[in-house]
């Protein structure tokens, strides 16, 4: 169950992008598990993929195809990651691309495959192609949420976000969907995320935009510290808005577009954490006063990856010693505990080497009780800061992952 049941209003359509979904019976016969995206000719595409060296077959094929052609079609399946499947898995991914290309009338290298689900099992290619054939007949511009549901695995809610800005007097839309609630600690990518805009943007600039955005959104979340074999994040720009093509990072329109894409990506990234497997707490880790942003991120991630800290969050236990121990082992050179401060939901708990004078245990329990927690660590070393979003570690997380393949 998601720790937050709020959601955006209906996702705005992106001219030049159509989705469709179908049921291929990959792991369950009762749910949609294949999604197809078609984008208009001359759409530019930027993408980042997992840095896990044990990457899945669809990642290999998608990277190869992107080096040769701009894509026209995405095929996304849930239920089977097609990872750890060797050359047979690569061949399966290529068969999916070839079959899809024949349905739509494009080159196979213009098809990008994406998979998510159980590692070590092969795709049911025949059933998938049947589902893809159905999708090709159903493509429509308003199926974003259908696609968000079809790509879910252990997610409990679909994840979508949208924004609209003005560029050259033209309304420009950014819409995205994502999936992922476990095996989450992205590295230059995310679980699976698909974003699109109708802005006209030069391709290399679009790639730069995506990398900048990912560094400030999906690469700032962690559920369990695990980077997936299948992570991918893609940004399309169809150019259908009719604006003058953005071709320089110094163009004010670029800043507005990058900010809008980042806003959508952050909402998606935070939605992933709010729906994290078994999560009961949504935690913002705000580390300030660092000598460098890297030091701040190191502290934030050390806290976020501590099982002792995460279980204290789950118990609403103000066990601040666990937090300070994590800060102390984050590897920050020159750290002086006489300068460190710790605040949780506005309550000062630790102040420059000792427990805060006004702190009481009952106040700490009250500060830890809400679903949303904001933990601020002031290192007292400089003016740099960073935020990371994470969650607690519950009994339910263990149960979900213990039973995942059963």
Taken in order 306, 311, 317, 319, is the CA torsion positive or negative? negative
CB burial of residue 384 (10 Å; 0-12, 13-18, 19+): middle
Q: Structure tokens of 307? A: 């099982």
Give yes or no for a contact between 192 and 152, defined as CB atoms under 8 angstroms apart. Answer: no
Cα 313 from chain centroid (whole Å): 22
Give CA separation, 245 vs 103, 164, 196, 199, 241, in Å. 31, 17, 16, 8, 10
Residue whose pair of structure tokens reads 């994290």 in the numeric block? 276
Reading the block at residue 376, the tokens are 């601020």
Q: What is the largest CA-CA distance in the chain?
A: 71
With left for phi above 0 and alpha for psi between -120 and 50, is residue 264 left, alpha or beta? Answer: alpha
Phi and psi at residue 366, to the nearest 5°: -65, -40
Element (H, E) at 21: strand 17-22
Q: List the catalytic residue out of 154, 175, 190, 390.
A: 190
Residue identified by tokens 């880790």 is 285
Taking the C-alpha atoms of residue 105 and residue 110, their distance in angstroms, rounded to an integer, is 10
What does the alpha-carbon distance between residue 325 and residue 329 come to, in Å, rounded to a whole number? 6
Closest CA to 224 of 192, 184, 189: 184
Give the three-class secondary structure for 17: strand
d(CA 296, CA 220): 12
Calculate ∠ Cα 345-350-356, nearest 5°.
Answer: 100
Q: In degrees, to the nearest 5, what angle opens at C-alpha 299 toward C-alphas 291 and 359?
A: 100
**Does residue 311 carry a catalytic annotation?**
no
Distances (CA, A) of 89 to 32, 93, 101, 281: 22, 6, 18, 38
User: What residues are annotated to the active site?
Assistant: 190
């Amino acid at each position: 169950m998601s720790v937050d049941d709020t959601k955006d209003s209906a996702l705005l359509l992106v001219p030049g992008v159509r989705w469709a979904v179908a049921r291929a019976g990959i792991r369950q016969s009762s749910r949609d598990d294949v999604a197809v995206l078609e984008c208009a000719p001359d759409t530019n595409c930027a993408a980042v993929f997992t840095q896990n060296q044990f990457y899945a077959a669809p990642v290999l094929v998608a990277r190869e195809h992107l080096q040769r052609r701009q894509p026209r079609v995405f095929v996304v399946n849930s239920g089977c990651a097609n990872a750890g499947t060797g050359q047979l898995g690569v061949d399966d991914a290529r068969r999916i691309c070839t079959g899809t290309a024949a349905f739509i009338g494009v080159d196979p290298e213009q098809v990008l495959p994406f998979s998510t689900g159980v590692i070590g099992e092969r795709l049911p290619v025949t059933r998938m192609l049947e589902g893809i054939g159905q999708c090709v007949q159903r493509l429509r511009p308003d199926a974003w949420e259908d696609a968000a549901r079809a790509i879910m695995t252990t997610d409990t809610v679909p994840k979508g976000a949208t924004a609209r800005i003005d560029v050259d007097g033209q309304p420009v839309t950014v819409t995205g969907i994502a999936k992922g609630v476990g095996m989450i600690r992205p590295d230059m990518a995310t679980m699976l995320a698909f974003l699109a805009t109708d802005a006209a943007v030069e391709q290399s600039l679009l790639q730069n935009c995506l990398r900048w955005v990912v560094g400030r959104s999906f690469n700032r979340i962690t559920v369990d510290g695990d980077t997936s074999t299948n992570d991918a994040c893609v940004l399309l720009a169809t150019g259908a808005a009719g604006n003058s093509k953005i071709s320089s990072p110094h163009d004010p329109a670029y800043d507005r577009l990058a900010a809008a894409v980042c806003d959508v990506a952050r909402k998606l990234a935070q939605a992933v954490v709010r729906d994290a497997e078994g999560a009961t707490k949504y935690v913002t880790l705000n580390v300030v006063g660092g000598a460098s942003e890297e030091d701040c991120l190191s502290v934030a991630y050390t806290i976020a990856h501590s099982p002792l800290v995460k279980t204290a969050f789950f118990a609403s236990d103000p066990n601040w010693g666990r937090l300070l121990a994590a800060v102390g082992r984050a590897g920050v050179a020159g750290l002086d505990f006489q300068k460190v401060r710790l605040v949780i939901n506005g309550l000062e708990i630790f102040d420059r080497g000792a427990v805060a004078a006004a702190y009481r245990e009952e106040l700490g329990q009250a500060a830890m009780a809400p679903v949303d927690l904001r933990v601020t660590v002031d290192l007292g070393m400089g003016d740099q800061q960073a935020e990371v979003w994470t969650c607690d570690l519950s009994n339910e997380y263990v149960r979900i992952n213990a039973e995942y393949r059963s």
